[in-house]
Structure 1
Amino acid sequence: MAEEKAIFAGGCFWCMVKPFDQMPGIKKVVSGYTGGDVENPTYEQVGSGTTGHTEAVEITFDPDIISYQQLVEIYWQQTDPTDAFGQFADRGDSYRPVIFYSSDEQKLTAEASKERLQASGRFKEPIVTTIEPAQPFYPAEDYHQDFYRKNPAHYNAYSEGSGRKGFIRQHWQA
């Protein structure tokens, strides 16, 4: 059985799990931290902005069922790709949008997808999501895992109140 990993940062990792978790071919979605210079950082350390980490999700998937290209397309539809300084109500480097690639193929796929999105005219502003090499990924604390399942009322209130759901409705479901 084939297995690959994809790492995406798109603001609060709570909101990045559900869209992938429910797709065929997804084996696991883990909330965590990547891109920083401290081993095994805590939520508090990452939130302080001193570790260089970004909140992200690591997706383990079966490429025979769902392609990396499909994952990238799902990713775009969860984010504001024109906002380099955070996502929705979450501001700062730990919430910046990033596609982390782990192979040349993933890099080329992500770059081509970003170019298509920019050329589509869907957004008037430039697409500023960065595409960077994968770095060590550290799972977040247990209470952050599968948050949408463990705390559905909080998750729904947060994803609506942060502006994420409204943005998605306006830009992706119109």
Structure 2
Amino acid sequence: MEQATLAGGCFWCLVKPFDEWLGIKSVTSGYSNGEKENPTYEEVSTGTTGHVEAVRIEFDPNVMSYEEVLRVFFKTFDPTDIEGQFGDRGSHYMPAIFYHDDEQKEVAESVIKDLDSQNIFNGPINTPVLPFKNFYMAEDYHQDFYKKNSGHYNAYFKGSGRKGFIENVWGEK
């Protein structure tokens, strides 16, 4: 198994898209690349810990490659917006790819270059590719939120503007 650590705004919305793919062993919501050890949701939400909401994806590279993981990831958020995502603003909601090794860095940069060349978005991709520093699992109530609280999740997914963005850019519902 390999790991991918990705941030694209609210971590709730990054779990469901990956749960639907063969080769994905687990998707864990958490906080990545900040300075405070074992931060809480309330601490991260202040924007002062340096963490961003992220997911850790464990996947079987023999079934789904890292490149394929990234291509699914880029269909879940607005990679041109570094200031947050949709209704969620602030540094703790910024998008990012946290690479675990040089190969992941190269693949991420290649995927970004390819997507930018296709002019899919209304501007260049502004999602940083950063070295992985740490990941702390979020509180249990955040894990698999879309399953545990489907009504709240669906209202948030639509109301935040994420659903409309994905439909407009990718034609997917």
Provide TM-score, normalisation by structure 1.
0.97
Alignment of 1:34-73 (within 5 A): 34-73=32-71
Where does residue 78 of structure 1 map in the other structure? 76
Aligned residue for 1:124? 122
Q: Which residue of 1 aligns with 2:90?
A: 92
TM-fit CA distance, 1:124: 3.2
Match of 2:102 in 1: 104
Q: CA deviation at 1:123?
A: 1.9
Identity level (%): 56
Q: Which letter does structure 2 place at the counterpart of 1:43?
A: Y
Q: CA deviation at 1:16?
A: 0.5
Shift of 1:173: 1.5
Q: Which residue of 1 aligns with 2:159?
A: 161
Q: How does 1:122-161 map to 2 (within 5 A)?
A: 122-161=120-159
Structure 2 CA distance, aligned partners of 1:25 and 1:122?
27
Aligned to 2:12: 14
Question: 2: distance between equivalents of 1:134 and 1:21?
Answer: 22
| Secondary structure in structure 2 of the residue aligned to 1:19 | helix
How much has 1:172 moved relative to structure 2? 1.0
Unmatched 5+ residue regions in structure 1?
Answer: none
Partner of 2:2: 4
Q: Secondary structure at the match of 2:3?
A: strand
Unpaired segments of 5 or more residues in structure 2? Answer: none
RMSD of the alignment, in Å? 0.8
Which consecutive aligned stretches of 4+ in structure 1 deviate over 3 angstroms post-superposition? none
